[in-house]
Chains A and B, each alone.
Chain A
Amino acid sequence: MKLTRRDFAAGIVAGLAAPHVITSARAQGATIKIGMCAPVTGPAAESGRYAIQGAKLALEAVNKAGGILGKQAELIIEDDQTTNPGIVLAFSKLASQSDIVGFLGSIRSTQVHAMAPDVLKLGKPVMIGGTDPNLTHMGNQWLFRFRPNDSYSGRVIAEYGVNTLGKKKWAVLHSTDAFGTAGGKALTAALEKLGCPSVLDQGYANQSQDFTPVVLAIKQSGADILGSYFTFENDLGIFARQLRQLGVNIPWVGSPSIVNITALKLAGPALYNTYGVADYAEDSSEASKAFGKLYRDAVKVAPDNQSSWPYDAVTVLAAAINKAGSTDPAKIREAILLIKKFPGAEGEYNFDQNGDGLHGYNIVKNDKGKIVFDKHIEFND
C-alpha cells in the first residue's frame, strides 16, 4: 500500500485530534465521577475506612434513586496518608482528571488548609469535614462544610458546661494543629463571653506518648471542669487514662473525637460520664436514625461522624448537581448554597453564603460506654 501525502496529513490530524476526542468522550462518559481524598494509610486510616464506607453508602443510595443527571455516580478514592503533603498530592491526582465534577476533602482542618490553594486554583466544589471556622471565611468559595464549625462547638461546650453543669473554672486543652488551635480559641472566646475566662489554656503536640505534665497542670490550676479539642484518638485515649489514674475526676466536655468509636474502644472506662459535642448523634433526628440503621446493617459497626459527613456530602452534592441540571462548577455552587432544610445524617442543612451547612451541635453523654443523646443546641447567627 502506498502512503499518499493526503493519507499522511489525515493521519497527523487524526493523531492530534484523538486525545481531545477521547477526553471529550470521557467527559461525557457513562458515569459521573466524584473524587475523594481519604486517609487509607497513616494514623487516621481507621477513621478513613469509616469515611469511605459512609461515602459509598450514599453513592449506592444516589444510584438506586436514579443517579446524577440520569447517569450512575462513581467514587474515585485517593489516599491522603493522613498528612498535609499526602492530601495535596492526592488532590492533585484527582484534580488532573477533568471528568471529576466534585470532591470530598478531609475531616482534618489542617489538611483542608493544605489543599485549599489548589482547590481555589481548580475552581470546583470540594466538600469538607474540617471544623476550623476560618476554612469557610478565607475567601475560598469552593469549600462547603458538612459539619458544624468550631465556633459553634466552642459555644455549645461553654454554654453546656456553664449553664447546664454550673461550672465556672475551666481548663481548656487542645492540640496545636489547625483544628485544635481554632477549637481552643473558640472555646476560650465563648467562655469569656459567658464571664468565665479559662484558668488554664493548654496546647499539646499530636502523637504525644505521655500527658503527665498536662494532667498535673490541670490539677494545679484548680479547674472544676475540662473542655478539650483532641485530633487523634490515640492521644485522647492515653490522656484519658492518665487523667483518671492521677486522680482528676472533674467533669469533661470534649469536641466530637471524645465520642468516636476508636476513642471509646481505646480509653474504655476512663471516658465514662464524660460529655461530648457530637455533630452526629443517632437519636437526634429521623434522618440520623435512618443513616445509623443503614450503616450498622452494611458495616456492622456503630456509626459516627467519620462516616456521617461523607454520607451527607455525597448526598447533598448529588442533589445539588441534579438541581443545577449541569456539572458546571458555578452552577453546582449556586445549587449547594440554595439548599435549605435538607435532612441529613448530621442534622438539617441550611447553607449560608460562606458554605457552612450546619449551625448547631448535639450534646451527648458517655453512659458506661454507651453514647446517649442529651440535647441539640442550634444557633441562628
Chain B
Amino acid sequence: MDLVLQLLFTGIGIGAVYALVALGFVLIFRATNVVNFAQGEFSMVAAYLMVVFSVDLGWPYWLSFLIALGGMALLGVIFNLGVYYPLRHRTFLPVIIATIGASILLSNSVLAIYGPQPQVLQGWFDTPGIQLGPVYLDSQYLLIIAVTIALVFFNYWFFEKTLLGKKLQATSQDKEMASLLGISVSTMIMITFIYSAVLGGLAGLLVAPVLFVSIQMGSTIALKAFAATIIGGFGDVAGAIIGGLALGVIETFGAAYISVPYKDGFAFLVLVAFLIFRPQGIFGERVAEKA
C-alpha cells in the first residue's frame, strides 16, 4: 500500500506537469485550430529566463519568477505576431510547420546564447520535501499539484464567469460570429497566445527544480502533453487536465509493475488505444456536440 501511495503521488505530480503544458496546447487549438508545437519550448525558455535572473544576476526568486512570466507574455505577443498572424488566412498546415520552425529557432537560440550546459535551479522551498507516514512528498511536486488545481478553478472562473473569458470562448467557437458581435478576434487570439505562453512558462518554472534546466526539457514534456491532450479530448480544458494526470499515473504505475525501460511506451500505448477506440478522447462528446 505504501508503494501504491508513493507511486500515486509521483504519478499525479508528473501528470500535473503534462497537464499544465497540455492546457497551453488546448487553448491555442481552440482559438486558432492549429497545434502549437513550440509549446514545450515555452517551458524551456521560461526556465532559462529564471536561471538568468535568479542564478546569474542573483535577483530575488519571486521577482525573477514574475519577470520570467512577464518575459513569456512578451514571447506570446512576438509568437502571435511573428508566427501565427502572417499565416492566419492560410490552412492549418503552414501554421503548424511555422510553429515547428519556431520551436527549432527557440531551442537553438537558447543554445547559442546560453550554451549547452544543463543548469540547476532551486525550488520555492528550502525543504526538499516532507515525510507523511510512509510517503515522501516532494515539495516541488506538491507545489505543481497545487498550481494545477488552482488553475482548474481559475480557468473555470475565467472562461465561464468573466466577460473576457466569454469573448475568448466565443472567438474559439466561431470567429465570424464573434467578429459580427463586435469582438476583436485578433486581440482575443493575441490574448490566447499570451496566456498559453505564460502557462507553458509556468510549467517550465515549476518543473525546472525537479528535472534541471536543459535545452531538451521542453520537448520531452511537450510530447507527453500532446498525447495527454488527445487522450483528454483535443480542445477540451478539463480533458487536458485529466489526460495529463492520467498519463502521469499510468506511466508511473506501468513502470513500477510492468517494465521501467518501456515507461514511455505505456503513454503512447494508451494514446494509440484512444486513437483506435475513442479518437475523440475522454471528453470528446462535448466537442462533437459543439462542432
Contact = CB atoms under 8 A, between A and B. Distances in A.
A262 B116 CA distance: 11
Contacts of A234: 118, 211-212, 214
B113 to A, nearest CB: 13
Contacts of A49: 115-116
B118 A46 contact: yes
Interface in B1-34: 3, 6-7, 10, 14
Interface stretch (A15-23, A200-208, A361-369, A373-381): A200-208
B252 interface: yes
Contact of A41 (B6, B111, B220, B263): B111
A245 B141 CA distance: 13
A220 B212 contact: no
Contacts, number: 85
Given A213-B260, A216-B256, A45 B116 contact: yes
B252 A209 contact: no
Contacts of B260: 202-205, 213-214, 217
B128 interface: yes
A335 B164 CA distance: 76
Nearest to A173: B260
A247 interface: yes
Given A205-B262, A212-B6, A213-B255, A268 B120 contact: yes
| Residue of B6, B7, B118, B138 most packed against chain A (CB within 10 A) | B118
A212 B7 contact: yes
A265 B256 CA distance: 29
B256 A237 contact: no
Interface of A is mostly: helix
Q: Which bracket fits the contact residues of B? A: 20 to 34
A46 B216 CA distance: 13
Interface string A253-285: 000000000100110100000000000000000
A46 B261 contact: no
A266 B115 contact: no
B136 A247 contact: yes
Nearest to A207: B220
Contacts of B115: 45-46, 49
Contacts of B129: 245
B267 to A, nearest CB: 11
B117 A262 contact: yes
Contact of A246 (B136, B252, B264): B136
Contacts of A286: none
B189 interface: no
A48 B111 CA distance: 13
Contact of A210 (B10, B116, B136): B10
Contacts of B221: 209
A244 to B, nearest CB: 9
A157 to B, nearest CB: 21
A140 interface: no
Contact of B116 (A41, A203, A246, A247): A41
A233 B116 CA distance: 13
Contacts of B117: 46, 262
Interface residues of A, number: 34
Given A202-B260, A204-B261, A209-B221, A233 B118 contact: yes
Given A205-B262, A245-B136, A262 B118 contact: yes
B111 A265 contact: no
Contacts of B216: 42-43, 207
A176 interface: yes
Contacts of B214: 43, 234
A209 B225 CA distance: 13
B7 A266 contact: no
A236 B211 CA distance: 11
A238 interface: yes
Nearest to B128: A245
Given A204-B261, A238-B210, A213 B7 contact: yes
A45 B6 contact: no
Contacts of B220: 207, 209
A210 B212 CA distance: 12
A307 to B, nearest CB: 15
Which of the listed residues A234, A238, A247, A268 has the most CB atoms from chain B within 10 Å of its own CB? A234
Contacts of A210: 10, 14, 252
B116 A46 contact: yes
Interface string B251-273: 01001100011111000000000
Most chain B C-beta atoms within 10 Å of own C-beta, residue among A48, A208, A241? A208
B116 A245 contact: no
A213 B118 contact: no
Nearest to A180: B261
Contact of B120 (A207, A220, A266): A266
B7 A237 contact: no
Given A43-B214, A216-B7, A220-B3, 12 more contacts: A41-B111, A204-B261, A205-B260, A205-B262, A205-B263, A212-B256, A213-B252, A216-B6, A217-B256, A217-B260, A234-B118, A237-B212
Interface of B: 3, 6-7, 10, 14, 108, 111, 115-118, 120, 128-129, 136, 138, 210-212, 214-216, 220-221, 252, 255-256, 260-264
Interface of A: 41-43, 45-46, 48-49, 176, 202-205, 207-210, 212-214, 216-217, 220, 233-234, 237-238, 241, 245-247, 262, 265-266, 268
30 contacts: A41-B111, A41-B116, A43-B214, A45-B116, A46-B118, A48-B116, A205-B261, A205-B262, A205-B263, A208-B263, A210-B10, A210-B14, A212-B10, A213-B7, A213-B255, A213-B263, A214-B260, A216-B3, A216-B6, A216-B7, A217-B256, A234-B212, A238-B211, A238-B212, A245-B128, A246-B136, A247-B136, A262-B117, A266-B118, A266-B120
Q: 5 closest A-B pairs (Cβ-Cβ)?
A: A45-B116, A213-B256, A213-B255, A212-B10, A176-B261
